[in-house]
Structure 1
Amino acid sequence: MSSAPKDPPWNVARLPRADGSTFLVTGGNAGIGYFAAEQLSATGATVVLGSRNRAKAENAMASIRARVPGARVRAVRMDLADLATLRTAAESLAVDRLDAVVLNAGVALDDPPRRETGEGHELMFGTNHLGHFALTRWLMPLLSAAPAARVVTIGSFAAKSERLDLDDLQSRKDYRPKRAYARSKLAQMYFSLELDRRLRAAGSTVAGVLAHPGGALDSLTPSRPPVHVRTAGARLGAAPAALLVQGKDAGAWPAVRAVLDPAAPEGRMWEPRVFGLRGEPRCEPVWHHLTDTLVATRLWDASCDLTGVDPGSIPG
């Protein structure tokens, strides 16, 4: 009797070396993006933080350097809500190749009113999905120059129970902030899978890889002052939740494995081992609704129209 294949051994505390590689993490100045950058810096790679706020990026770089001796870390200004600036942001990396980008940055609004980007897109959909969609187009020449680059997209467990409304991607008819956020992350996940399909069909050396952090709470996240400070009260109050979810340091593990693990299986994603909510990363089949290639294709076409670019138009 055959058994299901198991993930190869992986130690989150002893990551493989990546000397000579360059990784970009969008939103690398805070949250999961910060911890992904910190962990990737320990591999010997050069890690670039994409951030809108220079002061926050400086704090994040100082924190990483304090914890990772010899860390090669720098920052570039990047505003995913401003599509017109993303080509310049990609050029400002000033590198010959890019071995991976972690599409992590995002906006999450809890309350109305509905807000828009300068280009008139609903803020969360426009930043979380369209911004990364367009950025990937401008990064593709650098990614194609690497031997086996990765476009790692960070989804969300919140997207598991959502479905896209392809006739109202901008939430103009019925705006509910939490739902709009979950749908923006769902759009990112469809994008990752469709990008990978198109790159494979084109014979590209670049792969699209999907990951999500499970349940990751600030209150369970270790302090990294001034990037993040966890009070004793928050730590004690969150103790019961630790049975089900984890901190953002552990939430970064699936993204980091998606960057470093040689395996990039089609139609699967990296997620926490325990119910997809906590624990070390494992590779699992994508959720059933993400296998709908018709939805993915329609979203891709709509995204091309809204951004004016096509990330799949430059095969490696």
Structure 2
Amino acid sequence: MSSTSTTSPWDVRRLPRADGRVFLVTGGNAGIGYFVAEQLATTGATVVLGSRNVAKAEAAMDSIRARVAGARLRAVRLDLADLSSLEAAVASLEVAHLDAVVHNAGVALDDPPRQETVDGHEIMFGTNHLGHFALTAWLMPLLSAAPAARVVSMGSFAAKTERLDLADPQSREDYRPKRTYGRSKLAQMYFGVELDRRLRAVGSTVSSVVVHPGGALDSLTPSRPPIHVRTTGARLGAAPAGLLVQGKHEGAWPAVRAVLDPEVRGGQLWGPRVFGLRGEPRREPLWNHLSDASLASRLWDTSHELTGADPGPART
């Protein structure tokens, strides 16, 4: 669809139909990922919730079905902190193609000590970035089998002020949880941008889009028991913050638009409209440091060495 074509304004509450399409949302059982799954389910697509805990995914699906009549949902066990498990997780999808994956799952630690995945990687960098990097490699045949699939990487506004240190990508020398989290999400965003460069270079039908949710707080998020319960006190106490930030249901909007809007293009960055913190989704200029193609390429090489995976498509 041409960017100059006449289309209706994007409406976050009236999403286009996507019958027959299949979407995977990592971490779809809670937080922003839950609301991405709930919103995508309203389109008629089959939505697969990837989760380490299948029981939690089942509870999330029950919650979605209570709100979305006829929702087409599935769950797969997906542990991004265990790279050896990813091949089997992708095989368990049992689909001929995948129209989009939303790389949403993540770990955020507030306090030391430093933790590691079963593969020996710092747990935030290993899950948020390396896990999705390797997962994409296993998913690429399914994505390539779809007419125009999308890889949507969920970054974070916290990454805007961070910079990668490829001399110490796993924070072995200087571990500070909040900084390590921000850098892990920044690595995920670099990956999304670099992946699209590589996809374009070989003329792939798959595209890669980067999004971030702005400021998304539990206290501004509507209840979805048992997934999330917001008390009256929390709602009233968070009211002033609603002038600057938003709930996780609204934080899902950029990712949902990146999956569904035919006018979204690979290599773009989408986030909330108001100062990048709240509001309906819009395209943002790519952050200056995300434009560093040399650093993105070196991160790709480092990630390949650490995981043994190569998400790049085969040249046709």
User: TM-score of the superposition, structure 1-length normalised?
Assistant: 0.97
Query: Deviation at 1:314?
Result: 3.1
Alignment of 1:140-151 (within 5 A): 140-151=140-151
Report the residue type matching 1:209 in the other structure: V
User: TM-score of the superposition, structure 2-length normalised?
Assistant: 0.97
Q: SS of 1:270's equivalent? A: strand
Q: What's 1:259 paired with?
A: 259
Residues 8 and 314 of structure 1: CA distance in aligned 2, closer, same or farther (over 3 Å) = farther
Query: Deviation at 1:8?
Result: 6.4
Separation (CA, whole Å) in 2 of partners of 1:314 and 1:103: 21
Q: SS of 1:273's equivalent? A: strand
Q: SS of 1:170's equivalent? A: coil
Assess if the C-alpha contact under 8 Å between 2:23 and 2:47 holds in 1: yes
Say if 2:220 is the partner of 1:220: yes
Q: What's 1:111 paired with?
A: 111
Residues 200 and 8 of structure 1: CA distance in aligned 2, closer, same or farther (over 3 Å) = farther
Q: How many residues align?
A: 312
Q: What's 1:206 paired with?
A: 206
Q: SS of 1:312's equivalent? A: coil
Q: What's 1:132 paired with?
A: 132
Separation (CA, whole Å) in 1 of partners of 2:268 and 2:13: 24
Q: What's 1:3 paired with?
A: none
Separation (CA, whole Å) in 1 of partners of 2:212 and 2:119: 28
Q: What's 2:275 paired with?
A: 275
Assess if the C-alpha contact under 8 Å between 2:130 and 2:303 holds in 1: yes
Q: What's 1:98 paired with?
A: 98
Assess if the C-alpha contact under 8 Å between 2:151 and 2:207 holds in 1: yes
Q: Percent identity?
A: 76
Q: What's 2:51 paired with?
A: 51
Query: Deviation at 1:313?
Result: 3.9
Q: What's 2:85 paired with?
A: 85
Separation (CA, whole Å) in 2 of partners of 1:313 and 1:276: 32
Query: Deviation at 1:315?
Result: 5.0
Q: SS of 1:115's equivalent? A: coil
Report the residue type matching 1:253 in the other structure: W
1:99-119 deviation digits (Å, cap 9, x = unpaired): 000000000000000000011
Q: SS of 1:107's equivalent? A: coil
Report the residue type matching 2:191 in the other structure: F
Residues 152 and 267 of structure 1: CA distance in aligned 2, closer, same or farther (over 3 Å) = closer
Separation (CA, whole Å) in 1 of partners of 2:8 and 2:102: 22
Separation (CA, whole Å) in 1 of partners of 2:57 and 2:129: 22
Separation (CA, whole Å) in 1 of partners of 2:241 and 2:7: 27
Separation (CA, whole Å) in 2 of partners of 1:285 and 1:8: 23
1:140-183 deviation digits (Å, cap 9, x = unpaired): 00000000000000000000000000100000000000000000
Residues 246 and 7 of structure 1: CA distance in aligned 2, closer, same or farther (over 3 Å) = farther
Report the residue type matching 1:191 in the other structure: F
Query: Deviation at 1:268?
Result: 2.4
Separation (CA, whole Å) in 2 of partners of 1:170 and 1:145: 34
Residues 123 and 30 of structure 1: CA distance in aligned 2, closer, same or farther (over 3 Å) = same
1:255-280 deviation digits (Å, cap 9, x = unpaired): 00000011233542110000000000
Runs of 4+ aligned residues of structure 1 deviating over 4 Å after TM superposition are none
Say if 2:33 is the partner of 1:70: no
Query: Deviation at 1:284?
Result: 1.4
Separation (CA, whole Å) in 2 of partners of 1:46 and 1:128: 24
Separation (CA, whole Å) in 1 of partners of 2:213 and 2:47: 20
Any gaps of 5 or more consecutive residues in structure 1? 1-5
Assess if the C-alpha contact under 8 Å between 2:202 and 2:313 holds in 1: no
Assess if the C-alpha contact under 8 Å between 2:217 and 2:245 holds in 1: yes
Report the residue type matching 1:149 in the other structure: A
Residues 141 and 266 of structure 1: CA distance in aligned 2, closer, same or farther (over 3 Å) = closer
Q: What's 1:60 paired with?
A: 60
Residues 290 and 8 of structure 1: CA distance in aligned 2, closer, same or farther (over 3 Å) = farther
Separation (CA, whole Å) in 2 of partners of 1:208 and 1:217: 26
Say if 2:217 is the partner of 1:186: no
Any gaps of 5 or more consecutive residues in structure 2? 1-5
Query: Deviation at 1:285?
Result: 1.4
Q: What's 2:248 paired with?
A: 248
Separation (CA, whole Å) in 2 of partners of 1:179 and 1:122: 13
Q: SS of 1:238's equivalent? A: helix
Q: What's 1:294 paired with?
A: 294
Separation (CA, whole Å) in 2 of partners of 1:270 and 1:68: 26
Question: What is the aligned-residue RMSD (CA, Å)?
Answer: 1.4
Separation (CA, whole Å) in 2 of partners of 1:271 and 1:295: 23
Residues 278 and 265 of structure 1: CA distance in aligned 2, closer, same or farther (over 3 Å) = same
